[in-house]
Amino acid sequence: MTNRPRVALVTGATQGLGLALLEGLAERLGAGDIVYATGRDRDGLARITAGLADSGAEVRGEFFDVADPDRAEELAAALTRRHRGVDIVFNNAVMRVGPDDDPRAVVDHYAEVNNFGTTRVLRAFAPRLRDGGRLVVVTSALGTLSYLAPVLHGRFDGLATLDDVDRSVAAWRDAVRDGSAFAGPWPAFVNIPSKIGQVAAVRTLARQRRADDLPRDVLIAAVCPGMMNTPTSQAWWDVSDAPTPERAARSRCPFVRRDGAVRRLLRCGAGQDRQRTDSAVLPKPHVQVVTIWMPSEQVVPEDRTPGQIHEKLRGREPLT
Ligand SMILES: NC(=O)c1ccc[n+]([C@@H]2O[C@H](COP(=O)([O-])OP(=O)(O)OC[C@H]3O[C@@H](n4cnc5c(N)ncnc54)[C@H](OP(=O)(O)O)[C@@H]3O)[C@@H](O)[C@H]2O)c1
């Protein structure tokens, strides 16, 4: 691998885990490297880049609303013109929903940001990854098929193309919007199918690209963090005992290291709790589709299981 300067990008970098990942990259990467902080809050981006002006890498701000259908492609093309490609991309942005939001009212934008936004980033940036590149989608510990009724697994498992993934997500979204999802087997917590859809997108693309990516040491992966202490989770639970985004971002998975990163990723992946994984995790040597669980405290506590979230939601407001 060469020592040429590297170009990294984080979506949703204005707060929470995205900001922590940005700060981590700015610190770990070195002189000559560039890290793009992206988001939809121009003032916030300006403040963040100014605050990181003394970092190892240069930090630049770029407006990137992932709900904009054209912006991922525009930005990826612009970075390719500027730098001839990209080395590290963290697809992290998420639309926040709270317990008082009506899933039927928010699901369109939710799927647009979290799911179609993700597949647009995958389509735009994966072909522009340089040798040794990493494209990491931040999903969730809730993003595995074990949280979905078995009758629904086929909707997300073994899909051939990103278009198939988008179609499955759109079908779920439509069912949430018209309320039929909640009369059937879908979980009430929209986060679960959405995160499973993100993992499915990663697995699908990684599988398609595997033969070309392996010799180039290109890795496309989903990371599945457990509960973190951010305003998103604070809206739902007492997360005072959960790790901060900074701690979660200091994961033992060294995505940005030049050497042996894939080997270490595999070791990290092998440390995951197999009981809690399902076909969202493929065994070695399918490195491009490994789903990595961030370390230690990543098991969802008893009182926060999807089943209980489901019941809580149903108790609060009948959705049928
Ligand atoms: N928090 C947890 O416990 C937890 C657990 C598991 C997984 N995760 C995952 O970790 C990731 C980060 O979560 P978080 O808790 O750090 O979230 P957060 O604090 O709510 O931050 C979300 C970020 O996404 C940005 N964003 C929202 N809509 C956007 C859009 N349309 N275009 C571009 N950026 C947009 C927000 O920007 P604005 O500042 O403009 O709103 C913000 O910077 C997400 O993928 C989440 O699902 C979180």
Q: Is the CB of 97 under 6 A from ligand 1?
A: no
**pLDDT for residue 40:** 97
Q: Is the CB of 39 under 6 A from ligand 1?
A: yes
Q: Is the CB of 197 under 6 A from ligand 1?
A: no
CA atoms within 13 A on the CB side of 24: 23
Q: Residue with structure tokens 């989608």?
A: 137
Q: Output the residue whose Cα is nearest ligand 1's atom 46.
A: 94
pLDDT (tens digit per residue) in 70-114? 999 999 999 999 999 999 999 999 999 998 999 999 999 999 999
138: part of which helix (H) or strand (E)?
A: strand 129-138
The structural domains of the chain, with segments of one domain joined by +, span 7-316
Q: How does the average pLDDT of the chain come out, rounded? A: 80
Could you identify the atom of ligand 1 that is nearest to the CA of residue 66? 32
Residue to mutate, 17, 19, 293, ligand 1, most ligand atoms under 8 Å from C-beta: 17
Q: Is the CB of 230 under 6 A from ligand 1?
A: yes
pLDDT (tens digit per residue) in 231-256? 888 888 888 888 888 877 765 444 54
Burial class (CB in 10 A: 0-12, 13-18, 19+), 220: buried
Q: Is the CB of 111 under 6 A from ligand 1?
A: no
Q: How far, in Å, from the CA of 51 to the mean position of ligand 1?
A: 20
Please give the residue that has the higher pLDDT: either 236 or 117: 117
Mean pLDDT, rounded, for 15-24: 92
Q: Is the CB of 12 under 6 A from ligand 1?
A: yes
Cis peptide before 99 (omega within 30 of 0): no
Residue ranges of alpha helices (H) inside 8-139 are 16-28, 42-51, 71-83, 103-111, 117-125
pTM: 0.86
Q: How confident is the model at residue 226 (pLDDT cuts 50, 70, 90)?
A: confident
Cβ neighbour number for residue 284 with a 10 Å cutoff:
9
Mean pLDDT, rounded, for 200-207: 87
Cβ neighbour number for residue 32 with a 10 Å cutoff:
12
Q: Is the CB of 93 under 6 A from ligand 1?
A: yes
Q: Does domain 7-316 have CATH number 3.40.50.720?
A: yes
Share of the chain above pLDDT 90, in %: 49
pLDDT (tens digit per residue) in 121-149? 999 999 999 998 889 898 887 888 888 89
Q: Is the CB of 140 under 6 A from ligand 1?
A: yes
pLDDT (tens digit per residue) in 31-43? 999 999 999 999 9
Residue 281 has pLDDT above 60, yes or no: no
Please give the residue that has the higher pLDDT: either 265 or 45: 45
Q: How far, in Å, from the CA of 1 to the mean position of ligand 1?
A: 32
Count H helices and E strands in the chain, helices first: 11, 7
Q: Is the CB of 232 under 6 A from ligand 1?
A: yes
Long-range (24+ apart) CB contacts under 8 A made by 267-276 are: 268/292, 268/295, 269/293, 271/295, 273/299, 276/141, 276/144, 276/146
Cα separation, 236 vs 253, in Å, equals: 28
Could you identify the atom of ligand 1 that is nearest to the CA of residue 94? 24
